[in-house]
Amino acid sequence: MKHKLFGTQTGLPASRLILGAASFGERAGYGSAADEIPKILKAFADAGGNFIDVADRYQLGEAEEIVGKFIGSQRPNYIICTKYTRSNEVSPLSGNMGNHRKAMRQAVEASLKRLNTDYIDIYMPHFDDGMTPIEEISRGLEDLVKAGKVLYTGLANFPAWKVAAIAGMIPLAALQIEYNLMQRGADRELMTVAGHFGLGTMLYSPLAGGLPTGKYRKGMAGRLTHSSPGGYLEDAATKTIIDHLELIAENIGATPGQVAMAWTLTKNAFPIVGARTLAHLEDSFKALEISLSADHIGCLEKISNITMGYPYDLLQTVQKTF
């Protein structure tokens, strides 16, 4: 697997795909089988993958423990990104969660122990808690860098205006957002902000819980059926996207999921592959070998395009007059 620089604010060579460890463990219930996890990690490393994304909340801390055990003496060979906000406790007290300095300090120390390391490559709040001032978040992250506990800082699931404000305060390096053919809301501002500040952009859920693969059409189970007691229903927009993915896949000799993943790779970003089985990971690797034509990309862009809304729709009209 080829590597490329992680944004323009670092000189860090990162693998084009990031391995997501959210399903590593069983403390939270639904997750990867214990015998599959070592296979997934080894296959990722053997393919040249060097970037693993985790969080203290994933499997209530077990995911970090598994990643820490795997990297072991090979720690320098990996980029580890982990996140805090929601705590690894089942029912955390209010003082032990959120983005404030107390929660940040407790979380980073606990993550360092679980990951069995003395530094974290990329550290970020998992969500905007809506309460902690951006100045407190910024200075807290900056202090962790100064203390040598963290090398680079980032944000996950923050509104664009807060990303821009924090990037103006400290040397922010990373942004993690949800992005796939079914969820392109980040195109309104977040992708632009990331490009403007040169942030390494991490795309989670690039396969939208398996939706673009078409497996739910066949009655197969997956993350969406597990999280939706009433079952999953395909809306008209989703149907159109999957229909076209199936046509393109048939045309180029690939699967719909591989085509959807290959599309995310055209975005100058780093998709996070949340492989629950070795087969899932190997399927994602094949997307690296796909070269979509301009027509294929244009088609997928058009059918998944979103309305930009105010002021962008207005400005697009006005700016044509200049």
CA distances from 249 to 124, 254, 257, 287, 305 (A): 36, 5, 9, 11, 20
**CA–CA separation, 183 and 206 (whole Å):** 9
- Bridge-based pairing of strands 13-15 and 18-20 is unpaired
Contact 203, 271 (CB under 8 A): yes
> Catalytic residue among 30, 58, 119, 312, which?
58
Active site (annotated) includes residue 58: yes
Contact 175, 148 (CB under 8 A): no
* Helix, strand and coil in the chain, % to nearest 5: 45, 15, 40
DSSP 8-state class, residue 199: P
Task: For residue 295, give the H/E element and its range.
Answer: helix 294-304
Which sequence positions are flagged as catalytic? 58
